[in-house]
A and B are shown apart, each in its own frame.
Chain A
Amino acid sequence: MDFDLTEDQRLLNDSIARLLADRYAFDARRGYIKSAQGWSQEMWDKYAELGLLGLPFSEDYGGFGGNAVDVMMVMEAFGKNLVLEPYLATVVLGGTAIRLAGTEAQKGDLLPRIVDGSLKLAFAHSEQQARYDLSDVMTTATKDGAGWVLEGAKSVVFHGDCADTLVVSARTAGDRMDPAGLTLFLVPATTPGVARRGYAMRDGTRAAEISLSGVKLGADAVLGTVGKAMGTIEHVTQAGIAAMAAEAVGACEAAHDMTLEYLRTRVQFGRPIGQNQVLQHKAADMLIEVEQARSMAMLAAMMVDESDAAERARNISMAKVGVGQSGRFVTQTAVQLHGGIGMTEEYAVGHYFRRVMAFEHVWGDSAYHLGLLADQVA
């Protein structure tokens, strides 16, 4: 048990903070959103330069051999600045899938290109009908000689519009809800039959609907073992939850800081509104929930690499509930204490609010995960 950062981690933290302070002011971010792809290629190159894109990958592939705690730190800093680039989609989701399930050849081909910033990935798993059920997959892959043909559609795929390669789940056996019979495929986005419709999410990040129609793939497109992808899919989403939990904590902390600043400077009835004890106590409640959420994000980071799958799932669910509930409270209260200005598009606090909302609505909200935990009580 040790909460200290290593010297390397401290340096990394400082350099991310410096970069984002310089280049990710709220107005700069608005510019990135308005650009055609909705994020900054220049920042992406900077992340590559700083080594952030190679953080969790082994040195064998040009990475930095870091762990989930390093990713947690990056995501927390990203949350504070509401970073838009496809880091989660590429490094965390796509990268984890390849790291866990890839052959040596696949890893050797793909991971170095993630590290140098030339390859962007998206994890195309969720479907419209599935809501939060990971095994609800209707997209099919049928054998076609040595290769495969994919048919189906994927929904709300984070950064699916800009990804070079999609990690697509498809059913090679079993019925709609069957956890067995799922297979992952590496699908270059330019493959004939892949159609993408990109759009903005409510928090300003990008996502896409992806349709797959007669998409022909070679045998080497399979990632992992045919029919046995469920374990990988679960693990990838758990890594995603852990990373987004840290990001949500960063967003909560920033929203809390902004609220404190507002309470100190907003004058009504001749004095700063922060002199009202009732608002001081609300701000204290926010502080408490930020710290509780931070503890839970740490728990998630610690459990991402846990080898006992049941133990890992249980703790990640706990973190999802804890960060989700605390996050809703903190950001809702931040908007409330700001009053009208908190409701506006041109002010950052409403953006933090929506980033946390986005965290709640992916891979199961707090109610969903509380239900999973409750089932294990018996």
Chain B
Amino acid sequence: MDLRFTEEEVAFRKEVRDFIRQNLPAKTRERLRLGYSPTKQDIVDWQRILNRKGWATYKWPKEYGGTDWSPTQRMIFQEENQLGHAPEVNGFNITMIGPVIIQFGTPEQKARILPRAANLDDWWCQGFSEPGSGSDLASLKTAAKQVGDHYIVNGQKIWTSTAHMADWCFALVRTNPNARKPQEGISFLLIDMKSPGITVRPIISIDNSHHLNEVFFDDVKVPVANRVYEENKGWDVAKFLLGNERTGIARLGKSMERINYARELAREVRQNGRPLIEDAGFRSRVAKLQVQAKALELTQLRVVSKAASASDGKPDPFSSVLKIKGTELLQDTAELVMDIAGPLAMPDWAKELDSLNREAGDNEPRIGPDWAGYAAPPYLMLRAASIYGGTNEIQKNILNKAILRL
């Protein structure tokens, strides 16, 4: 056991850091530093830069453009991206549909989908949750009936992140309503978002942003060739997808970056006539978060190195620990930044910010310093972090089922 990084790992970290510093567009960097969400274009630009370097698909197998990095290198790469204010690559493309196609896709599907997913030529979204099927995903009802060489899809998905930006949707649909168990009648389809009969309705979230959607399917024709894996075996694909490479799930680098950012801000902001950073209560709050981040970092390293030596390909239930602690830390660090802004975090700038994102150089006067206006939205939006991808309550059920066995 050696918990220190090797010389090679330290050198690798430097290489990644230098690359990001030299290649990440300054406007993207600044936007993320201030706490704004990246625009679609920010993500596309950065993912293509990474893809040219061969790093966008670092998690994929070598023969599909992967990098063969060690678990520690992967973690360092993620962390440096987040610390360097780089957007995260589109997770639907890189962590979800890419690995699914590599594992289950036909040669034709691989050739058609993988390079475009890697280069973000296609923006993917995920059609899993339905109004009646949240934690109990297998109860989903969206129906696909085979007619000739097409499926006709009818139903509704909800909480579909970035559906309004997406070119394609991978969706779970019910192909056999009479299956013995609900899991056994589900198939995994790839659906072109331009297909007639698809309607996307925005859901505005409590940070006033448009990130989530409802997606309605009304007699949508999907070629059978766009089914992944066997009919009625879609649940196996979904399980693979949800369990696949969950080590990035803690998004620890993001929390660490927010802690650094908070310390920076607290030097500017004053309380009782002194910089906030000199306030004992504030300091101990930051110190506690740093301790939690350190513990999570080590736990993550342990999980990652275990995953490297496990060969059964099954998801490690311990990644639920990373999800729970990681999302709590994301929430608490976002709350820290918001609390620093104090009353200036409360005016609702959403509209102004959207216009800033659209037309750089927007001159709308701000209320207080630039960063204050975007201090609250990440806090609001991150309340969802402990809900999506399996609520933290569900994660604890997973831990119980797989490890505690009570």
Residues of A within 8 A of B (CB): 126, 128-129, 131-133, 136, 155-156, 177, 197, 199-203, 207, 209, 267-270, 273, 276, 278-279, 332, 335-336, 339-340, 342-346, 350-351, 353-354, 357-358, 360-362, 365, 367-368, 370-371, 374
* Beta-carbon contacts under 8 Å, B279-294 to A: 279-282, 285
Q: In whole angstroms, how far apart are the Cα atoms of A72 and B271 in the complex?
A: 30
CB-based contact B387/A371 at 8 Å? no
Q: How many A-B residue pairs have CB under 8 A?
A: 139
CB-based contact A278/B367 at 8 Å? no
Q: Check B148 for interface membership: any CB of A closer than 8 A.
A: no
For chain A, what secondary structure do more than half of its interface residues adopt (helix, strand, loop), or is it mixed? mixed
Question: If the complex has contacts A344-B204, A346-B204, are A209 and B367 also in contact, measured as CB distance less than 8 A?
Answer: yes
Chain B residues near A155: list those with CB within 8 A. 343-344, 367-368
CB-based contact B346/A199 at 8 Å? no
> How far apart are A371's CB and chain B's nearest CB, in angstroms?
5
Q: In whole angstroms, how far apart are the Cα atoms of A332 and B208 in the complex?
A: 17
Chain B residues near A345: list those with CB within 8 A. 203-206, 208
Question: If the complex has contacts A202-B346, A367-B281, are A344 and B212 also in contact, measured as CB distance less than 8 A?
Answer: yes
CB-based contact A268/B135 at 8 Å? yes
22 A–B contacts, CB within 8 A, in A order: A131-B271, A155-B344, A177-B273, A200-B348, A202-B346, A202-B376, A202-B380, A268-B133, A268-B134, A268-B136, A269-B135, A269-B136, A336-B386, A336-B391, A339-B134, A339-B135, A342-B387, A343-B381, A344-B205, A358-B346, A361-B339, A361-B342
Q: In whole angstroms, how far apart are the Cα atoms of A374 and B279 in the complex?
A: 12
Q: Which residue of A lies closest to B158 (CB)?
A: A340
Q: Check B384 for interface membership: any CB of A closer than 8 A.
A: yes
List the 3 shortest-distance A-B pairs measured between CB atoms, nearest first.
A350-B206, A268-B136, A345-B204
> How far apart are A339's CB and chain B's nearest CB, in angstroms?
5
> How far apart are B37's CB and chain A's nearest CB, in angstroms?
15
Q: In whole angstroms, how far apart are the Cα atoms of A343 and B384 in the complex?
A: 7
Q: Check B388 for interface membership: any CB of A closer than 8 A.
A: yes
Chain B residues near A201: list those with CB within 8 A. 346-348
Q: In whole angstroms, how far apart are the Cα atoms of A317 and B309 in the complex?
A: 54
Chain B residues near A136: list those with CB within 8 A. 270, 273
| B119-161 Cβ-contact flags toward A at 8 Å (1 or 0) | 0000000000100111110010000000000000000001100
* Beta-carbon contacts under 8 Å, B376-403 to A: 376, 380-381, 383-384, 386-388, 391-393, 396
> How far apart are B9's CB and chain A's nearest CB, in angstroms?
37
CB-based contact A343/B206 at 8 Å? yes
> How far apart are B198's CB and chain A's nearest CB, in angstroms?
20
Q: Check B269 for interface membership: any CB of A closer than 8 A.
A: yes
Chain B residues near A156: list those with CB within 8 A. 343-344, 346-347, 367
Q: In whole angstroms, how far apart are the Cα atoms of A339 and B136 in the complex?
A: 12
Chain B interfacial residues counted at CB < 8 A: 50
Q: Check B272 for interface membership: any CB of A closer than 8 A.
A: yes
Question: If the complex has contacts A177-B273, A343-B212, A365-B339, are A336 and B344 also in contact, measured as CB distance less than 8 A?
Answer: no
Question: If the complex has contacts A128-B368, A269-B135, A332-B383, are A354 and B206 also in contact, measured as CB distance less than 8 A?
Answer: yes
CB-based contact B343/A354 at 8 Å? no
Chain B residues near A132: list those with CB within 8 A. 271, 342-343
User: Could you say which of A268, A357, A368 contacts B271, with CB atoms under 8 Å apart?
Assistant: A368
Q: Check B190 for interface membership: any CB of A closer than 8 A.
A: no
Q: Check B345 for interface membership: any CB of A closer than 8 A.
A: yes
CB-based contact B348/A202 at 8 Å? yes
Q: In whole angstroms, how far apart are the Cα atoms of A160 and B282 in the complex?
A: 31
Q: In whole angstroms, how far apart are the Cα atoms of A177 and B344 in the complex?
A: 19
Chain B residues near A202: list those with CB within 8 A. 208, 345-348, 376, 380
CB-based contact B279/A365 at 8 Å? no
Q: Which residue of A lies closest to B339 (CB)?
A: A365
Chain B residues near A358: list those with CB within 8 A. 346
Q: In whole angstroms, how far apart are the Cα atoms of A276 and B394 in the complex?
A: 11
Chain A residues near B365: list those with CB within 8 A. 197
Question: If the complex has contacts A278-B396, A344-B205, are A335 and B383 also in contact, measured as CB distance less than 8 A?
Answer: yes
Knowing that A133-B272, A207-B347, A343-B387 are A-B contacts, what are 11 other residue pairs whose CB atoms are under 8 Å apart, sorted by A's residue number? Answer: A128-B344, A133-B273, A156-B367, A200-B347, A268-B136, A273-B135, A336-B383, A344-B204, A345-B208, A361-B339, A367-B285
> How far apart are A122's CB and chain B's nearest CB, in angstroms?
15
User: Could you say which of A268, A354, A365, A374 contacts B380, with CB atoms under 8 Å apart?
Assistant: A354
User: Could you say which of A207, A340, A361, A367 contacts B345, with CB atoms under 8 Å apart?
Assistant: A361
Chain A residues near B205: list those with CB within 8 A. 343-345, 350
Chain A residues near B348: list those with CB within 8 A. 199-202
* Beta-carbon contacts under 8 Å, B249-308 to A: 269-273, 276, 279-282, 285
Chain A residues near B380: list those with CB within 8 A. 202, 354
Q: Which residue of B lies closest to A365 (CB)?
A: B339
Q: Which residue of A lies closest to B342 (CB)?
A: A131
CB-based contact B279/A371 at 8 Å? yes
Q: In whole angstroms, how far apart are the Cα atoms of A370 and B339 in the complex?
A: 14
Q: In whole angstroms, how far apart are the Cα atoms of A278 and B212 in the complex?
A: 28
Q: Which residue of A lies closest to B133 (CB)?
A: A268
CB-based contact B339/A367 at 8 Å? yes
CB-based contact A357/B376 at 8 Å? yes
Chain A residues near B206: list those with CB within 8 A. 335, 343-345, 350-351, 353-354
CB-based contact B384/A361 at 8 Å? no
Interface centre among B129, B208, B342, B376 (most CB of A within 10 A): B342
User: Could you say which of B281, B339, B342, B345 contacts A371, with CB atoms under 8 Å apart?
Assistant: B281
Q: Which residue of A lies closest to B208 (CB)?
A: A345
> How far apart are B112's CB and chain A's nearest CB, in angstroms?
32
Chain B residues near A207: list those with CB within 8 A. 346-347
User: Could you say which of B139, B269, B387 contacts A131, with CB atoms under 8 Å apart?
Assistant: B269
Chain A residues near B282: list those with CB within 8 A. 367
CB-based contact B384/A340 at 8 Å? yes
> How far apart are B378's CB and chain A's nearest CB, in angstroms?
13
User: Could you say which of B132, B343, B376, B388 contacts A126, with CB atoms under 8 Å apart?
Assistant: B343
User: Could you say which of B158, B285, B367 contacts A128, with CB atoms under 8 Å apart?
Assistant: B367
Q: In whole angstroms, how far apart are the Cα atoms of A199 and B380 in the complex?
A: 19
